[in-house]
Structure 1
Amino acid sequence: MKSCEQRLPLGRTGTCKGSVQVTRFARPAARPRGSQSWRNGLWLNYSLPPPVASAPAHTARQLVSCRATSQVAADSSQKDDIDLGKLLTGEGCIDWFNQWYPVAFVRDLDKSRPHRFVLLDIPLVIWWDPNAAAWRVLEDVCPHRLVPLSEGRINESGLLECGYHGWAFNSQGRCEVVPQQGKSDSPRACATAYPAAERQGLLFVLPRPLPPALQPSGAANSGQLAEALAEAAAAESRIPLVPELEEPGGKWVSQDVFRDLPMDWSTLMENVLDPAHVPFTHHISMSNRNTVGAYDLKLTSPLSERGFTGSWKTGPRAGRLGPQSTIFTSPAFMRNRLDARGFSALTVVYAVPMRPGKCRLINRNVIRFDSPVPRLLFGLLPAWWSHVSAHVLLEDDQIFLHLGEEETARRRAGGLSHSQVCYMPSQADTYVVAFNRWIQKYGGGGPFGGTDAGYAEALGARLSRTQLLDRYSQHTESCATCQRGLKQIAAARAVAGAVQLASGAAALFCAAVGAAAAAAASGGASGAAAAVPAAAVAAAAAPGGAAAAVGSALAALAVAVAGPYDPTGAGQMVRAVAWAVAAAAAALAGGRLEGLRRLFYEGVYPPPRNTKS
């Protein structure tokens, strides 16, 4: 009986694809014996299951063996059109580990420290190599004691240094420093390096280790090295990009944001391929549920391994903005294009699979204006403000998508297809239906396998509302742009606090002087108390070195704060009111800055759609 293996995280048991039984195997370090081949990221086994072979911890991966049975779903008329034979052999399925995925906007990365990211359940460390002046990616595992390299630092030599024992690695993963014994040339001392490329302001990673000829332990001749470099260049040509950003003239303006979402990559992709939810989910924040037009969506290309294209004739806002086109490029890239009067707009989404139930949203809202004025205004906004404002839209649907994903996984754990658990009779669901058919027909059920009982368990526990709205851990903590914004806000708050304190003190001083002068004028106090500013001026005029200088400074300060002496005290009282207003304004500014600071940490509930008509 045929079997196939797919890379999956630890702890996966049960069934996949409804009628497929699951057994775990560890991927061997080398090709196992028997009639087997590695294709599309799968071990194809036509005899015995691959033996469990020992492998270095930094190269081992978890796999499952899926065996077909004769059981079929109860309602075959509702099943997705899947060729199980092709699924088992890997024919027609993409290799999820041979695709380029964006992991970060480079301007949001901090060059002074390493960054951790999980891609397809592979822990990665992203770091800036000052020697190569480029971003590099290694597996986030030190081969010595298997601790995360991301907890280390970039040392003075430009090497990635492990924080545990100081082993240091170059961008190819070669261990250059072992403080306890010197340099180690053993291949076992190497960290696993992955191809990385910077394109259009994004850092893309290919989650497949560097070819042997490009690895530090590779013993390749010049021909093999040239061939490996050519293959690497060809691989980079497959990076999914936005052609409009390559157009000369710079008329396209892009507002970019990322966020680590508590939902599967497929849930995110379904959501952004679904225009019908926008007026209701994003009512007030970006749309209006009272303006709903026709959702006459249709596919304009056949479903294929590369994805599909579609068009929406009516378009958003009940047709006010014109038609919209959509492209889904496998495995995780989507773009909508809208050409309206006076501007064109693209909504670009990369749904980056991290692990079951978690993905990174890479979002680009790209706009071209015919007039240069809007482009100028966009350029004046701080980058962190576009990040903060984008959170509101993301949180409009984040809570119910997280909960709905859990319910969908629970229902599909028994072997039902997406079309069997979700009733989608409307033309508005055209893209969602096509996407789920693509996952099953060409995506092998997704990078983490089918939605069996083990998958539902791998999603983890349900998160609380507070956790779902945690902006800091999902974005700010990993965003250098927002970290700079927080520092700027902290500095502004410090200035506002100082102004509030100084203005309050000045108001009290002016009020005291004014009250004393008024009392003196009415004969209720001695003239000495009323003549503080005048006495200070007289003291400043007297000779006396340092004391005279101090007196002069105090006199100048008193006059600057309280103004020229007014025997009636009225002038000082007016100054007191002015300083009090300044103190109140500073306090108000400080409060607003505190509110702005909180926007980097937590979202707001309930969403706007539930609070406004």
Structure 2
Amino acid sequence: MEILKISTCFPPLFHFNFNTPKFSRIILCEKKKDNFSFPQNHQQPNKSRFNNLFTTNISISTNDEQKITTKNNENQEEEKFDWYAQWYPIMLLSELNKRRPQGIKVMGIDLVVWWDRNLEEWKVMDDACPHRLAPLSQGRIDQWGRLQCVYHGWCFNGSGDCKFIPQAPRDGPPYHFLQVHTSKRACVAVYPSFVQNDILWFWPNNDPSYKDIHLSKMPPYIPLLDLNNANSSYGKTTLVREIPYGYELLIENLMDPSHVNYAHHGIMKIPPSPKRVKADREGGKPLDISVAKVDLNGFIANQGPDGEHKFIAPCVYYGPFGVGSYLDNESKEQSSSGEINKVFLVFICVPVSPGKSRLLMTSLRNFAAWEYKVFPPWKFHLDNNLIIDSDLYLLHLQEYKLKEKHPYNWQKICYVPTKADALVIGFRRWLNKYGGGQVDWATKFTGDLPPTPAREQLLDRYWTHTVQCSSCSKAYKGLNALEIILQVMSVASIGIAAAVKENVISISARFSLVFMALLSFMASRWLSKFIYKSFHFHDYDHAFI
């Protein structure tokens, strides 16, 4: 499978405003319905401005490790990155269910996402009922389109106002009944949300002053995600996966092209180049990667003739990981339209909690795009999950080793002398210089990593992907039903062959029934193993690959 090398062609267009206060949790309850609403879609920026930015010459090189690593003894005060003054992705719209509330954690904040059919908007709120702190994500949307807590039946609208308390006496003094419902303590905090590139984003600050934050600062617009709409020669598939290691390691891993030959050996088919000098079985080679100036908003990098990588702090990264990246210019294949075969990947990395992150990945390509239209998404998810799992365990252990020696000393404890690590060095420089060395979890976490679970639990796919993926969950249910049908056919065939008298059916028919029973049984056993390895657990032993 060809995956993981993208060639970008448009830089993002959005503006940052960092003059915003730190995270606060102020709950506002309004008696009147708000006139403001966050639209589900918005007008895209003028793409002509991308072209002007695209012509910018990137020439800063990373010939030496010392040129890009952080200088901790700088005297001048640098501008700091505010982790709570950014937009964070919640989920792909295709994976959200309008019929039920869904719980999700971002930046250590427990959120409930639900569709307000009265306002026709997605709402993002605190996942806690103000009554007894029961999770609202375990509730339901009632017949009036309100979010109902199933513990005691309290109901809330899209503005967080409490609209119904069953236990409040309705035949008592009117002022008392109204006072109970309109109390600020009966409200649920609502976070600003916005839809961009078919992704629901939220602003992790429920202060009322940020209600219209999208008017001054929008989520990053990613032109690549609209590429398949503008050009029919491109096909697109998406993936969402919970990752059992931290945000920092996730971005590092995706920015590291040189690990592909080794960590994913035997899974990813990398076509050999006629001019490559192979020093080992896997065929690793020097990579010429240069990184532009790292600033508060991220950086731009260049990797040879394929184009630019872009890191948009704190979550978005896309760059050349594709077919052409592993081929010499003379041997690059062409698509049916005459273009060079290209694979574009957009990685959106979400901080969840210490030791946990979430990956939202989009893959686009201009060759064999018909496969994305003919085959269901779960077929491609099997390969994507196998790639993720093949280095998941070692990255989980690597995170513990980095934590023991403190991430602030990354440039001292890690030896990165080649240009192949330029992207990783650039990210660590940004993280140490502007981001404080790690994600700011405010007061929710101490930063300690969770204990390492059993290997099978760590590599679990069912709860980290299958359950929340609409395509994989349908395939999982369908294949399990097929397994049961095969088992029933096996038993029924044997039963018929044994029960029917000899003079009723011929010997050949009886042998046919026995053969069908045996075939159905073998097929059911194979299908059972396939389901387990594809949707539950697939181990990967590097020593024997």
| Fold match by TM threshold 0.5 | yes
Is residue 372 of structure 2 the alignment partner of residue 378 of structure 1?
yes
> Is contact 1:391-1:603 (8 Å) kept?
no
Range with bigger deviation, 439-448 or 398-407: 439-448
Distance 1:55 1:212 in 2: 10
Give a deviation string over 1:256-297, Cα, whole Å, max 9, x none: 111111111011000100111110000001146522232111
Please state whether the residue corresponding to 1:173 is helix, strand or coil. coil
C-alpha spacing 1:421/1:587, structure 2 compared with 1 (3 Å)? same
C-alpha spacing 1:197/1:189, structure 2 compared with 1 (3 Å)? same
Is residue 390 of structure 2 the alignment partner of residue 396 of structure 1?
yes
Deviation of 1:233 (Å):
3.8
Q: 1:357 aligns with which of 348, 355, 358?
A: 355
Please state whether the residue corresponding to 1:146 is helix, strand or coil. coil
> Is contact 1:129-1:171 (8 Å) kept?
yes
Gaps of 5+ in 1: 1-37, 44-52, 59-75, 215-227, 314-321, 514-529, 534-561, 563-571
Distance 2:119 2:492 in 1: 50
**1:459 match:** 449
> Is contact 2:27-2:187 (8 Å) kept?
no
Is residue 185 of structure 2 the alignment partner of residue 251 of structure 1?
no
> Is contact 2:69-2:425 (8 Å) kept?
no
Give a deviation string over 1:296-341, Cα, whole Å, max 9, x none: 1112x2112221122222xxxxxxxx73532111112111234553
Deviation of 1:360 (Å):
0.4
Letter in 2 for 1:485: A
Deviation of 1:492 (Å):
1.6
> Is contact 1:504-1:580 (8 Å) kept?
yes
Is residue 77 of structure 2 the alignment partner of residue 144 of structure 1?
no
RMSD between superposed Cα atoms in Å: 3.0
Return the structure number with greater relative CO, CA threshold 8 A, min gap 6.
2
**2:478 match:** 488
Deviation of 1:136 (Å):
1.7
Letter in 2 for 1:160: L
**1:264 match:** 246
Is residue 345 of structure 2 the alignment partner of residue 347 of structure 1?
yes
Deviation of 1:476 (Å):
2.1
**1:426 match:** 418
Q: 1:472 aligns with which of 450, 457, 462?
A: 462
Q: 1:97 aligns with which of 80, 84, 90?
A: 84
**1:219 match:** none
Deviation of 1:244 (Å):
4.5
Letter in 2 for 1:442: Y
> Is contact 2:228-2:364 (8 Å) kept?
no
Matches within 5 A, 1:271-290: 271-287=253-269, 289-290=281-282
Please state whether the residue corresponding to 1:603 is helix, strand or coil. coil
Gaps of 5+ in 2: 1-17, 30-65, 169-176, 271-280, 325-331, 336-340
Range with bigger deviation, 333-342 or 469-478: 333-342
> Is contact 1:503-1:580 (8 Å) kept?
yes
Give a deviation string over 1:394-420, Cα, whole Å, max 9, x none: 11111111111111011117xx52101
Is residue 514 of structure 2 the alignment partner of residue 580 of structure 1?
yes
TM-score (norm 2): 0.76
Q: 1:204 aligns with which of 201, 204, 214?
A: 201
C-alpha spacing 1:364/1:407, structure 2 compared with 1 (3 Å)? same
**2:319 match:** 336
C-alpha spacing 1:86/1:461, structure 2 compared with 1 (3 Å)? farther
Q: 2:436 aligns with which of 434, 444, 452?
A: 444
C-alpha spacing 1:292/1:350, structure 2 compared with 1 (3 Å)? same
- How many pairs are equivalent? 455
> Is contact 1:195-1:210 (8 Å) kept?
no
Distance 1:353 1:85 in 2: 30
Distance 2:247 2:25 in 1: 32
Deviation of 1:146 (Å):
1.9
TM-score (norm 1): 0.68
> Is contact 1:507-1:579 (8 Å) kept?
yes
Please state whether the residue corresponding to 1:280 is helix, strand or coil. helix
Higher helix share: 1
> Is contact 1:257-1:362 (8 Å) kept?
yes
Distance 1:396 1:40 in 2: 41
Deviation of 1:255 (Å):
1.9
